[in-house]
Amino acid sequence: MKRSNQKFSLPRHGLSEEEKSAADKELKLLRFRRLNEMTEASRIYADLLRLRYQMSDYLELGLFDPDHSFGKYLKKYLQIFNLKRRELSDDISVHETKFSRIINDKKNPTLAILYRLEEHCNGIIEASIWWEVGNEEG
């Protein structure tokens, strides 16, 4: 489903500039405190969800953009788990050379690899989303 181009406005807060600035600082401190208290598992989960929504949003646009290639999303995936290419290729049982060609967008991933990626992230990013990103054409 395509998003509409409606613009939404936030309700007025009724604060003076000084009060708003103080409230913004307080919110920022609270946000950083919460981020620092976040467990590694929670951080990974949040980052995976963010990546999934980025992929879905890109697909919803229906426009090809080389900056949103399968390989680029796979590189973000590696960063989320703080893995080296070799580690992920071992985890999903793909030869390192083949994995390198996939991450550099020289080769398309097989369906089996997509399902292994889905399994690797406990289904947070489904194989179907990986497949759609991997099959976008310019």
- Domains belonging to the chain, first-starting first, are 40-134 (1.10.260.40)
Q: Residue 1's pLDDT is what?
A: 46
Q: Which residues, other chains included, contact 36 with Cβ-Cβ below 8 Å and sequence gap of 6+?
A: none
The pLDDT, as a whole number, for residue 98 is 96
The contacts found for 88-93 with CB under 8 angstroms, 24 or more apart, are 88/120, 91/120, 92/116, 92/117, 92/120
Of all residues in the chain, the percent with pLDDT exceeding 70 is 90
Residue 73 near residue 55, CB atoms below 8 Å: yes
Q: Is the dihedral of CA 36, 124, 48, 26 positive or negative?
A: negative
Q: Residue 2: is its pLDDT beyond 60? A: no
pTM (two decimals):
0.74
CA distances from 137 to 86, 119, 131 (A): 28, 26, 12
Residue 9, helix vs strand vs coil: coil
Mean residue pLDDT across the chain: 89
User: Is pLDDT of 58 > 90?
Assistant: yes
Q: How far apart are CA 105 and CA 84, in angstroms?
A: 17
